[in-house]
Structure 1
């Protein structure tokens, strides 16, 4: 497979001559697979990839950047294992094998790695994990991994299929029905106002598209054609983004009711609130909320969409998510399993925590076998011929959660987690320049509703605690006396 920097896609793009607005692009299955794979990426992977690609110019994705930075800076001694912190900073893609043979892979984390103990009886997907086998030195040895070739890869089916991708990232079957709907919704009466261009895009443009999918309502216009978002007036932006095909989406109505349960787990915190604005300045909490917040980074983007009813309010990614449900199995998509991997992707293996509030599931443990007379390990859907033994998987985080306790932590409004000290608290108070008379302490319970609201706010707001919990502050007990 060619290096990612060498891969190129050719797109036919239809634009409006006068405004250079992209109406739609015609894309092949290779490009469609890469675009759909965005939904399988964990939030932590997206933050890491954008920082790696853009450096100091990386986009700010709500409070996720500061959550990720806080995790990086938090001493490893607060985690049960060093591997536990590493797997949150570098979460695996639970659909990594399905994405491993795409024409372009933007995720640089291998779909699965194999580290075998010196006894040859157990394995881990992460290094720096201690084996607990009797008479073991605890050393793990890197092994070559053979993946069974018949495992399904990719998401789109027919090799000759093509799709129409609208400016706001709705992916549609390439058909007269889709074309006429796009023209009608954009108010196009005469085709002489349209212009066709052929664009060649590579890794740089795909990364721009990933960024744009989370921050722009018109990513194809803004990014592929390099139209400056600052140059577009608010009225023009309304017109440019007025092509949504799904005015009311049944998927959203179906999912919303599934995620809030009266018996969901609750986490108690102390919030220090500015009375005059109802702004949360910081929160004092135990390891339970910290563990839960860090778990955001392991949740795939498609699962976030599922939890939030297909409406994150972040860029155009919700349009891509919703439009998948209208693609036919067999004609457009490979299988029902491929669709589920996009609409309800699972957490990476061992990323489930006992402090998790959301109703989530994680990928099942792979079947790993050591081959006879070889240092190779085989990943198989069935028992391979010539095996030596089936290997036991080790949970790299060591416990049923990531963060040690009991410990007191401090969480700022933009989700930076740290251990509190008098100097750090004074530094925060000096920075925000608020008199202490305007600050009160409130006890808050974080249940399913509050957790979903924080998750949604974390995607778009640098004040995720305030924006996430503001609707619930009036329900909670007031200042302690």
Structure 2
């Protein structure tokens, strides 16, 4: 498991065996929010197809099994199956913790564009060198190199990358809802879950690596109790190992 500086302080109700909420800093919230930036193909590739809920896994497998004979000449199967990752492993978003494995298609590491081989004045661009220029019908084989624009981050203003400010502690609910942490919000949560016996509450600090990142990604799809489902089994296993 890869070491990271991402951790959570869980508040657990030992009677109901449920995580009520977690205290988190900027690192975890940046990871959580940037899950939304994951392309679907990468999302599915990070999870086992057998573990997918619904039919998306079947679409992924259909592309895998489909002969390239049926694809258009400018369509690359690897680009569909492994689109360029926008966060975490191979991140293109500055400051986001590396909590997911790197899944990146080699075909997307650089992008070639082509112009008319006959004339600079024909202002057409293609992404396939076998294309023909609409003006003179010559091949579009003059190589151009695609250049990415400067990445927009907030580093100029605050020195921080990612999504949220680092001076705030955040409350993450069991269903991954996020809000700024406050004493009032903590009391509100305890009242909502009708917690009467404060002695039954237990604090646990958990450290996250790639294994936990993938499990949270999977739990975010199907579970309304993601923190409980991911971390309580892990904590129980640690207790069993210590007792042996």
> Normalising by structure 1, what TM-score?
0.38
Paired with 2:48 and 2:147, the residues of 1 have a C-alpha distance of 39
Corresponding residue pairs, total:
202
- Is structure 2 residue 41 aligned with structure 1 residue 292? no
Partner of 1:412: 173
* Partner Cα distance (1:453, 1:391) in 2: 35
CA RMSD of aligned residues (A): 3.2
CA distance in 1, matches of 2:73, 2:225: 40
For residue 467 of structure 1, give the secondary structure of its aligned residue in structure 2.
helix
1:321 alignment partner in structure 2: 60
Shift of the 335–448 alpha-carbon distance from structure 1 to 2, 3 Å rule, reads farther
Separation (CA, whole Å) in 2 of partners of 1:408 and 1:367 = 44
8 Å Cα contact 1:271/1:284 also seen in 2 = yes
CA shift, 1:322, in A, is 1.7
Q: Residue 83 of structure 2 aligns with which residue?
A: 345
Change (3 A) 1:313 1:352: farther
| CA positional deviation for 1:338 | 2.5
Deviation at 1:307, TM superposition (A): 0.6
Match in the other structure for 2:116 = none
Q: Do 2:13 and 2:19's aligned partners in 1 also have CA atoms closer than 8 Å?
A: yes
Q: Partner of 1:200 in structure 2? A: none
Distance in 1 (alpha carbons) for counterparts of 2:12 and 2:50 = 28
1:407-434 deviation per Cα after TM superposition (whole angstroms, max 9, x unaligned)? 3111111111111111111111111112
Q: What are structure 1's unaligned runs of at least 5 residues?
A: 1-261, 369-377, 385-389
153, 167, 171: which is aligned to 1:397?
Answer: 153
Q: Which residue in the other structure is 1:452 paired with?
A: 214
Aligned-residue offset at 1:459: 0.2
Q: CA separation of 1:278/1:334 partners in 2, compared to 1, >3 Å: closer, same or farther?
A: farther
Corresponding residue of 1:98? none
- The equivalent of 2:17 in structure 1 is 278
| Distance of 1:448 and 1:336 partners within structure 2 | 34
Instruction: Normalising by structure 2, report the TM-score.
Output: 0.71
Alignment-derived partner of residue 50 in structure 2 = 311
Tell me the secondary structure at the aligned position of residue 302 of structure 1: helix
Relative to structure 1, is the Cα distance of residues 300 and 287 closer, same or farther in structure 2, using a 3 angstrom cutoff? Answer: same
Whole-angstrom distance in 2 between the partners of 1:473 and 1:263: 18
8 Å contact kept, 1:273–1:282: yes
1:426 matched to 2:187: yes
Instruction: Indicate conservation of the 8 Å contact 1:347/1:361, yes or no.
Output: yes
1:397 Cα offset (Å):
2.2
What residue in structure 1 maps to residue 70 of structure 2? 332
Q: 1:465 to 1:336 in 2, by over 3 A?
A: farther
In structure 2, do the counterparts of structure 1 residues 266 and 327 end up closer, same or farther at CA, with 3 Å as the change threshold? Answer: farther
Q: Which residue of 1 aligns with 2:132?
A: none
CA distance in 2 between counterparts of 1:289 and 1:449 reads: 14
Bigger relative CO (Cα 8 Å, ≥ 6 apart)? 2
Contact 2:171 2:179 in 1 (8 A): yes
Taking the aligned partners of 1:304 and 1:352, their CA distance within structure 2 comes to: 20
Matches within 5 A, 1:67-146: none
Q: Distance in 1 between matches of 2:45 and 2:103?
A: 13
Report if aligned partners of 2:94, 2:153 keep a CA contact under 8 Å in 1.
Answer: no
- In structure 1, the partner of 2:137 is none
